[in-house]
Amino acid sequence: MKLFIIGVISGIISGMGIGGGAILIPSLVFFSSLNQQQAQGINLIVFIPVAITALIVHIKEKNIELKYSKWVILGGVAGCIIGSILAISLDSDSLRKYFGVLLLFIGIYEFLKRK
Distance spanning both ends of the chain, measured CA to CA: 37
Residue 115's pLDDT band (boundaries 50, 70, 90)? low
DSSP state string for 8-35: HHHHHHHHTTS-THHHHHHHHHHHSS--
Quote the pLDDT of residue 3. 85
Ranges 10-14, 16-20, 46-50, 74-78, most confident? 74-78
Quote the pLDDT of residue 103. 87
- Does the predicted TM-score (pTM) go above 0.75? no
Residue 38's pLDDT band (boundaries 50, 70, 90)? very high
Give pLDDT tens digits for 42-61.
988 988 888 888 889 888 99
Domain with 100, as residue range(s), is 2-112
Q: Per the structure, how many domains does the chain have?
A: 1
